[in-house]
Amino acid sequence: MDAELADVLDTCWRLLGRGAADRRSPMHTPVVASVDADGRPQARVMVLRAADRATARLRFHTDARSPKCAELDGAAVAVTLYHPGEAIQLRLAGAARVVTDGAEVDRIWAAATDFARRAYLVEAAPGTPLPGPGSGLPAGVDGRKPEAPELVPARANFALVMLDIGEIDWLHLAQDGHRRALFTLGDGGWAAGWCVP
Ligand SMILES: Cc1cc2nc3c(=O)[nH]c(=O)nc-3n(C[C@H](O)[C@H](O)[C@H](O)COP(=O)(O)O)c2cc1C
């Protein structure tokens, strides 16, 4: 890979790392797209929780009962991010895995705030119809910070979505000429090339 493409790849991972670490980054909330059982595209915003360059892996959190889990687990997934300040779009493609058990899930759950954990107390799967507007939370914890014992049942609903990135499509918009590069991860590391924007 030439030096200019290597710089672009560095930028991609810098922006992804910042997107995960900084909730004010526009790359903190990418769109994650999958395909449902009927072959229809499904796209939704998810918070980017971690981006690790060494493993080319992204991490998201979700409710294990949500329809997206079945769509994402073991499937090809696309993630789109846009940084207006940098005028950079990243389109990532990879393979996802949903993880609900194990030391890593336990560690991340233990580090979450009580308010974040409360979201996983909703009584029915996300998307379940309600008779009227509502949070879906048990009446007792709606509108207040739950106590630790009340959060115990929420753990079973917490899932990590791990996404192994295999391809990065970088697009930079500029008045003096747009630029686009494609990075593909193979056995020998990242291969790169320019393409027409
Ligand atoms: C700013 C923002 C951040 C969100 N972050 C997450 C998230 O991290 N995990 C998640 O499961 N849903 C998140 N959502 C909700 C999803 O976009 C979606 O509405 C919900 O998870 C249901 O998706 P599904 O029906 O495809 O399972 C977020 C929504 C917004 C607007």
Rounded to a whole number of angstroms, the CA Rg of the chain reads: 19
* Best residue among 46, 135, 162 to mutate for probing ligand 1, ranked by most atoms within 8 Å of CB: 46
Whether residue 195 lies inside any domain: the answer is: no
Q: Give the Cα separation of 10 and 31 in Å (integer).
A: 22
pLDDT of residue 139: 86
Q: What is the pTM of this model?
A: 0.97
Q: Considering the domain boundaries, does residue 182 fall inside one?
A: no
Number of domains in the chain: 1
Average pLDDT over residues 21-32: 98
Atom nearest to 47 CA in ligand 1: 8
With a 6 Å cutoff on the Cβ, whether 58 touches ligand 1 is no
**Alpha carbon separation from 64 to 36, 119, 159 (Å, rounded):** 16, 12, 5
Classify residue 191: in a domain, yes or no. Answer: no
Residue 45 CA to ligand 1 centre (angstroms): 5
pLDDT at 41: 97
Quick one: what percent of the chain has pLDDT higher than 90?
93
Instruction: Tell me what pLDDT residue 61 has.
Output: 98
Q: How confident is the model at residue 39 (pLDDT cuts 50, 70, 90)?
A: very high
Q: Does residue 35's CB lie within 6 angstroms of at least one atom of ligand 1?
A: no
Mean pLDDT of 28-56: 98
**Residue 189 falls inside a structural domain:** no
State the pLDDT at residue 64: 98
Is 25 near ligand 1, meaning CB less than 6 Å away? no
Average pLDDT, the chain: 96
Residue 141 has pLDDT above 90, yes or no: no
Output the CA 118–ligand 1 centroid distance in Å: 15
Asked whether the predicted pLDDT for residue 18 surpasses 90, the reply is yes
Q: pLDDT band at residue 146, thresholds of 50, 70 and 90?
A: confident
- Its domain, for residue 155, covers 3-164
What confidence tens digit (pLDDT) does each residue in 70-108 have? Answer: 999 999 999 999 999 999 999 999 999 999 999 999 999
User: Given this model, what pLDDT does residue 110 score?
Assistant: 95
Residue 193: inside a domain, yes or no?
no
2: which 2 tokens? Answer: 């030439």
Q: What is the DSSP letter of 141?
A: G
Q: Determine, yes or no, domain membership for 170.
A: no
Nearest CA to ligand 1 atom 7: 46
91 CB under 6 A from ligand 1? no
Q: Which residues contact 180 (CB under 8 A, 6 or more apart)?
A: 169, 170, 171, 172, 194, 195, 196, 197
Give the CATH number, domain containing residue 130.
Answer: 2.30.110.10
Residue 108 lies in a domain: yes
Instruction: Please determine, for residue 145, whether its predicted confidence score (pLDDT) is greater than 90.
Output: no
Domain assignment present for 173? no
For strand 189-195 and strand 179-186, is the pairing parallel, antiparallel, or unpaired?
A: antiparallel
What pLDDT sits at residue 140?
A: 83
